[in-house]
């Protein structure tokens, strides 16, 4: 509805203060979009595609030319600038899709499931580009996704919708510490023994520990999870710990919120 | 007052500005580029050329049979113009019947429709491109036909220009119908088949039925009868304004209906 692909039956939706249901053209000025995995005009090259879209939104030839070079560099497609898009892989097309959204320095970029339908390599490439799109730019990126690991990896603010109702809108940090506890996954150079788990559970500040596949999952208060003392304490155990990372807690929060809202 | 504002007018919820017209031209230019880089244009030119070759070769090889018949510039141009309506139909099938539906079928609408551009501007641009590409081939066809007339009879009848005018109206009618089918179809192939068979067969069947039911009637409002004036203009008296209005309505009504459907159409 925000990108005017679906007609509204009722209500209003504003972009930069303009109701997209009343004046979609005015509302979408200064907005770049990537909806799922769009297809391109296969007879055009990335340069020609940017030229077409740039002309459509009223950019000058000079500006189109200047922005095309920098955007293609950003999405790592410079060497493919003059090749027909018809020959591109899905991942490459999606990078071009992301690039075109940056034409004319938009103030808002709407990404709807930007990695959907991509193979693992395409997803990784896309995520790599997405991580850096805000660098040095005054732009708000609105991304919708069902992949919660991707959301917690890329976003700093999350809104959760359930059956069309907003049930949460907060920063990632606030959401992940909502329950007051965090989970840390500790990787060992061997399969954890009961003794290893007990040693971890005995660390002061850790509330519980258990086997988590071939790793150990430790639960602790939010503030302790971010303490440098935790690293030292686990290292000092001498249980062969070589890596630790925070377990996905957005998913747990999401599932509990969905359950609550039923 | 800016250029955009000077062009602006409103009729209820629909408004067209100078910027919308500029965007329509950008869309039309891209659509033309698509046609020119595709295979359909080659097929279209090839089929039009085939008609010309047959029209020129037959009299050349069988002059005894054709000599009396093609004895005036009017007769030569009528001979060629009798193929124009079919070539226009081919143009409508190859270009206009795909122009809207292809955006949905090929998912390029996700790229185009999410930009600050009105659907009306997209619709106008696409129709314009389909109209122009068919017209260019038809003009080339008339050009070669005129040269043939010059070679055989040393003259080209001024009725050629009237016939071109009728052809332009016929292109509008068939493109309008084809764009309508393109707006209501899920697949380009379905739209193309509907355009081809409904335009080629349905008016013929209706006119045959009418002529059987009421022989000698004036069925000027039928698409094939109005379109037939493209060639009959050379040999008989044709009510040009009546034929032009008929062809205009045959194009305008489906075009407006197609536009209304397109405005509400979602993937």
> What does the DSSP assignment read for A190-214?
SPPPHHHHHHHHTSTT--EEEEETT
Residue in the block written with tokens 């999401």: A254
**pLDDT value of position B11:** 41
Give the pairing of strands A241-246 and A181-188.
antiparallel
Helix segments in chain A, DSSP class H? 24-27, 46-56, 61-74, 90-101, 120-131, 148-154, 172-176, 194-201, 222-225, 228-236, 250-261
Q: Are A54 and A91 in contact (CB under 8 A)?
A: no
For chain B, the straight-line distance linking the first and the last C-alpha, in angstroms and rounded, comes to: 38
CA distances to A94, A113, B153, B155 from B73, in Å: 59, 65, 6, 6
The reported pLDDT for the residue numbered A261 is: 65
B149, two tokens: 């007339």
Side-chain half-sphere exposure of A131, counting CA atoms within 13 A = 9
Which range is most confident: A1-15, A151-165, B137-151, B204-218? B137-151
A158 to chain B nearest CA, in Å? Answer: 23
Closest-CA residue to A145 (of A8, A250, A74) = A250
**Residue bearing the bigger pLDDT, A32 or A231:** A32
Residue A27 with chain B: CB contacts under 8 Å: 116
Percentage of chain A beyond pLDDT 70 is 95
CA A157 to the chain's CA centroid: 10
Q: What residues form DSSP beta bridges with A110?
A: A33, A142
* Residue B52: other Cβ atoms inside 10 A: 18
- Cα angle A10, A15, A17 (rounded to 5 degrees) comes to 95
The residue among B147, B141, B166, B169 whose CA lies nearest residue B233 is: B166
What pLDDT digit, counting tens, does each position of B15-48 carry? Answer: 778 899 999 999 999 999 999 999 999 999 999 9
Segment B105-137, tens digit of pLDDT: 999 998 899 999 999 999 999 999 999 999 999
pLDDT value at position A180?
66
pLDDT of residue B13: 55
Taking residues A188-215, report their average pLDDT.
90
Instruction: Determine the pLDDT at residue B4.
Output: 46
**Confidence class of residue B5 from pLDDT cuts 50, 70 and 90?**
very low
> Domain extents for chain B?
15-264
Within a 10 A sphere around the Cβ of A235, how many other Cβ atoms?
12
| Coil, strand or helix at A169 | strand
Check residue B83 and give its pLDDT. 94
Q: How far is A27 from chain B (nearest CA, A)?
A: 8
Range with the poorest average pLDDT among A162-166, B89-93, B115-119, B151-155: A162-166
- Closest chain A residue by Cα to residue B107: A39
- Largest Cα–Cα distance in chain B? 69
Which residues in chain A are closer than 8 Å to B112, comparing Cβ atoms?
56
- Among A3-12, B6-15, B92-101, B109-118, the least confident range: B6-15
pLDDT at position B61: 87
Contact B110 A35 (CB under 8 A): yes
Beta partners for residue A140, in sequence order: A108
Please compute the mean of the pLDDT values over residues B182-195 and round it to a whole number.
Answer: 96
Is A5 in contact with B107 (Cβ distance < 8 A)? no
Question: What is the C-alpha to C-alpha distance for residues A196 and A209, in angstroms, rounded to an integer?
Answer: 10
Q: How confident is the model at residue B96 (pLDDT cuts 50, 70, 90)?
A: very high
Which of these, B169, B182, B163, B128, lies nearest to B251 by C-alpha position? B169
Q: What is the mean pLDDT of residues B196-215?
A: 88
Contact assignment for B114 to A58 by CB distance below 8 Å: no
Nearest CB neighbour to B111, from listed A31, A40, A55 = A40
Which pLDDT value is given to residue A153?
82
Q: Is the pLDDT of residue B68 over 90?
A: no
A25-72: pLDDT as tens digits: 999 999 999 988 778 999 999 999 999 999 999 999 999 999 999 999
Q: Maximum Cα–Cα distance for chain A, whole Å?
A: 69
Rounded to 5 degrees, what are φ and ψ at B258? -60, -40
Chain mean pLDDT for chain B: 90
- The beta-carbon contacts of A116-121 under 8 Å, at least 24 apart in sequence, are A116/A36, A116/A37, A117/A36, A117/A37, A117/A90, A118/A37, A118/A90, A118/A91, A118/A94, A119/A90, A119/A91, A121/A91
pLDDT for A226 equals 67
pLDDT at A259: 74
- pLDDT for B1 equals 40
- Token pair listed for B87: 């070539």
Residue B57 CB-density burial (10 A; 0-12 exposed, 13-18 middle, 19+ buried): exposed
pLDDT at B37: 94
- Whole-angstrom Cα distance, residue A78 to residue A82? 9
Query: Among A216-230, B23-37, B50-64, B136-150, where is mean pLDDT lowest?
Result: A216-230
Dihedral angle over CA of A62, A66, A72, A75, nearest 10: -120
What would the mean pLDDT of A198-224 be, rounded to a whole number?
A: 86
DSSP secondary structure of A132-161? TTTTT---EEEEE-S-HHHHHHH-SEEEEE
Q: Give contacts of A29 with chain B, Cβ < 8 Å.
A: 116
- Chain segment A79-101, per-residue pLDDT in tens: 999 999 999 988 888 889 989 99
Cβ–Cβ pairs < 8 A, chains A and B: 67
The model's confidence at residue A262, banded by pLDDT at 50, 70 and 90, is: low
**In the predicted structure, residue A223 carries a pLDDT above the cut 90:** no
- Does the pLDDT of residue A6 top 90, yes or no? no
Helix axes B159-184, B223-232, angle to 10 degrees: 150
Rounded to the nearest angstrom, the minimum Cα separation between B101 and chain A is 14
What's the confidence (pLDDT) of residue A179?
62
Show the domains of chain A with their CATH numbers: 14-155 (3.40.50.300), 177-257 (3.30.70.100)
Show residues of chain A in contact with B267, CB under 8 Å.
5
- Is A249's Cβ below 8 Å from some Cβ in B? no
Distance separating alpha carbons of residues B238 and A194, to the nearest angstrom: 100
Nearest to A52 among B19, B22, B30 (CB): B30
The C-alpha atoms of residue A3 and residue A13 are separated, in whole angstroms, by 10
| Chain A residue numbers touching B34 (CB-CB < 8 A) | 41, 43
């Amino acid at each position: 509805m925000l990108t005017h692909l679906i007609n509204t039956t009722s209500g209003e939706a504003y972009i930069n203060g303009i109701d997209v249901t009343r004046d979609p053209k005015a509302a979408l000025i200064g907005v770049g979009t990537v909806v799922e995995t769009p297809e391109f005009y296969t007879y055009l090259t990335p340069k020609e595609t940017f030229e077409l879209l740039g002309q459509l939104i009223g950019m000058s030839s000079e500006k189109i030319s200047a922005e095309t070079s920098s955007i293609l560099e950003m999405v790592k497609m410079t060497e493919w600038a003059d090749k027909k898009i018809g020959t591109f892989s899905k991942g490459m097309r999606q990078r071009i899709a992301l690039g075109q959204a940056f034409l004319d320095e938009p103030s808002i970029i709407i990404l709807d499931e930007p990695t959907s339908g991509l193979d693992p390599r395409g997803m990784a490439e896309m995520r790599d580009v997405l991580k850096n799109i805000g660098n040095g730019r005054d732009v708000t990126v609105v991304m919708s996704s069902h992949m919660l690991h991707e959301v917690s990896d890329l976003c700093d603010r999350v809104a959760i919708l359930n059956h069309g109702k907003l049930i949460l809108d907060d920063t990632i940090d606030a959401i992940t510490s909502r329950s007051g506890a965090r989970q840390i996954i500790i990787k060992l150079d061997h399969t954890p023994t009961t003794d290893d788990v007990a040693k971890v559970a005995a660390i002061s500040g850790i509330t519980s520990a258990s086997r988590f596949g071939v790793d150990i999952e430790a639960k602790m208060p939010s503030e302790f999870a971010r303490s440098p003392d935790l690293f030292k304490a686990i290292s000092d155990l001498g249980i062969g710990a070589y890596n630790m990372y925070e377990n996905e807690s957005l998913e747990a929060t999401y599932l509990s919120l969905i359950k609550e809202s039923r | 007052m800016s250029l955009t504002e000077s062009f602006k007018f409103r009729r209820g919820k629909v408004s067209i500005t100078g910027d919308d017209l500029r965007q329509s031209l950008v869309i039309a230019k891209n659509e033309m580029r698509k046609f020119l880089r595709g295979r359909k244009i080659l097929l279209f030119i090839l089929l039009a050329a085939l008609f010309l070759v047959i029209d020129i070769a037959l009299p050349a090889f069988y002059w005894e049979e054709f000599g009396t018949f093609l004895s005036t510039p009017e007769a030569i141009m009528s001979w060629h113009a009798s193929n124009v309506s079919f070539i226009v139909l081919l143009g409508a099938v190859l270009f206009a019947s795909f122009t809207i539906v292809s955006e949905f079928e090929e998912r390029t609408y996700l790229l185009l429709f999410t930009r600050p551009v009105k659907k009306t501007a997209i619709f106008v641009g696409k129709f314009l491109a389909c109209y122009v590409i068919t017209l260019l081939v038809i003009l080339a066809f008339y050009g070669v036909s005129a040269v043939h007339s010059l070679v055989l009879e040393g003259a080209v009848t001024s009725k050629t220009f009237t016939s071109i005018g009728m052809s332009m109206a016929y292109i509008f009618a068939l493109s309008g119908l084809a764009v309508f089918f393109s707006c209501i179809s899920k697949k380009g192939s379905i739209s193309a088949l509907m355009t081809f068979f409904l335009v080629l067969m349905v008016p013929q069947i209706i006119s045959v039925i009418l002529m059987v039911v009421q022989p000698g009637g004036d069925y000027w409002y039928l698409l094939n009868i109005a379109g037939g004036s493209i060639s009959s203009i050379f040999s008989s008296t044709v009510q040009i304004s009546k034929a032009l209005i008929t062809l205009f309505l045959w194009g305008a009504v489906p075009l407006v209906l197609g536009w209304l459907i397109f405005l509400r159409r979602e993937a």
